[in-house]
């Protein structure tokens, strides 16, 4: 007997009473009124049973449910229907729908903005404010000469030569700082200068007067070079560029710093002659 569970429930009960289909099978199986639909593929039989027929199903079989797109559903209790308001007092949200009687918050579209305190001076206005954040600041990553000497002693950083000096990329590759933390450049400081004994050749964004004296006291050279954001990206991540762009000149505010020999700026005449291999004594 082929029947649907909802429309042909009485017919399936008659089939059970007549012994055509077992009760245990009809309880867990839904038959479809289609001759081409094979019901037996939903039922698993043991090897001892004969080949089953739709009209003669063995009671020892177990129902196997297959997951298809037409029977996918959420778990029980996964979706909770929202309460419908304004449907009488029996719904617990009738008449005023939980908004109470009158007032600004009971009106359609009514209400107050967040953190509204009823008209009194709000809290964020009573708290005093101090200081500000400079949007034009260019904070530098500090690196000490003592740290550079320690990494040279460990063999993680080279000394550098006049043709191939130490750069910010070498400091990042050695692990002294991270590339992600270098936003505007690196400044060299003089902490640990008493341990400095290697004559290092270095190019860096800025340097303190004490750091310059410590490096030159150890027969080293230092050159301060301006790097904007694009120049830093080219220096630290050259693999991202097919064509290396030309380095930008310093802005007017920083021009005096990089043209000063006291700061060992790369635009000063003395440093320009030194980079070309010409000393002042030869010029004289």
Q: How far apart are the first and last CA of the chain?
A: 118
**Residue 199 clears pLDDT 70, i.e. is over it:** yes
Q: How far apart are CA 53 and CA 39, in angstroms?
A: 9
When pLDDT is averaged across residues 1-20 and rounded to a whole number, the result is: 45
Q: Supply the pLDDT for residue 282.
A: 56
Give dist(CA 127, CA 134) in Å, integer. Answer: 21
pTM for this entry: 0.59
Q: Are 202 and 166 contacting, i.e. CB atoms less than 8 angstroms apart?
A: yes
Greater model confidence, 54 or 156: 156
Q: How many CB atoms sit inside 10 A of residue 7's CB?
A: 9
Pairing between β-strand 186-189 and β-strand 201-204 as defined by DSSP bridges: unpaired
Please count the other Cβ atoms lying within 10 Å of the Cβ belonging to residue 192.
15
- Provide the sign of the torsion angle of the four alpha carbons 230, 264, 223, 198, taken in this order: negative
Judge whether residue 131 has pLDDT over 70: yes
Please report how the helices 145-153 and 209-217 are oriented relative to each other, as an axis angle in degrees rounded to 10. Answer: 40
Tell me the pLDDT of the chain averaged across its residues.
83
Residue scoring higher pLDDT (83 or 56) = 83
Kindly report the three-state secondary structure assignment for every residue of 125-150.
Answer: HHCCCCCCCCCCCCCCEEEEHHHHHH
β-sheet bridge partners, residue 188: 143, 207
133 Cβ neighbours under 8 A, 6+ residues apart:
none
Give residue 60's pLDDT: 63
Q: Give the per-residue pLDDT at 278.
A: 83
Predicted local distance difference test score (pLDDT) of residue 262 = 96
């Amino acid at each position: 007997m082929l029947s649907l569970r909802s429309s042909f429930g009485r017919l399936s009960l008659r089939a059970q009473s007549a012994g055509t289909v077992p009760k245990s099978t009809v309880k867990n199986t839904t038959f479809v009124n289609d001759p081409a639909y094979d019901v037996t593929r939903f039922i698993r039989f043991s090897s001892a049973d004969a080949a089953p027929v739709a009209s003669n199903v063995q009671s020892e079989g177990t129902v196997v449910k297959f997951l298809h797109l037409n029977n996918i559903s959420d778990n029980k209790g996964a979706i909770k229907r929202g309460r419908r308001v304004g449907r009488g007092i029996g719904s617990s949200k009738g008449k005023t729908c939980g908004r109470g009687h009158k007032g600004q918050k009971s009106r359609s579209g009514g209400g107050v903005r967040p953190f509204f305190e009823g008209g009194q001076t709000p809290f964020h206005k009573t708290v005093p404010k101090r200081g500000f954040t400079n949007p034009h600041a260019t904070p530098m990553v500090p690196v000490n000469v003592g740290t550079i000497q320690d990494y040279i002693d460990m063999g993680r950083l080279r000394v550098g030569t006049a043709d191939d000096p130490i750069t910010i990329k070498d400091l990042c590759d050695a692990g002294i700082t991270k590339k992600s933390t270098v936003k505007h450049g690196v400044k060299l400081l003089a902490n640990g200068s008493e341990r400095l004994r290697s004559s290092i050749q270095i190019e860096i964004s800025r340097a303190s007067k004490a750091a310059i004296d410590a490096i030159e006291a150890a027969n080293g050279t230092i050159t301060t070079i301006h790097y904007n954001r694009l120049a830093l990206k080219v220096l630290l991540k050259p693999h991202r560029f097919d064509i290396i762009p030309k380095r930008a000149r310093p802005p007017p505010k920083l021009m005096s710093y990089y043209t000063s020999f006291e700061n060992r700026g790369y635009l000063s005449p003395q440093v320009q002659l030194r980079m070309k291999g010409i000393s002042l004594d030869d010029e004289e």
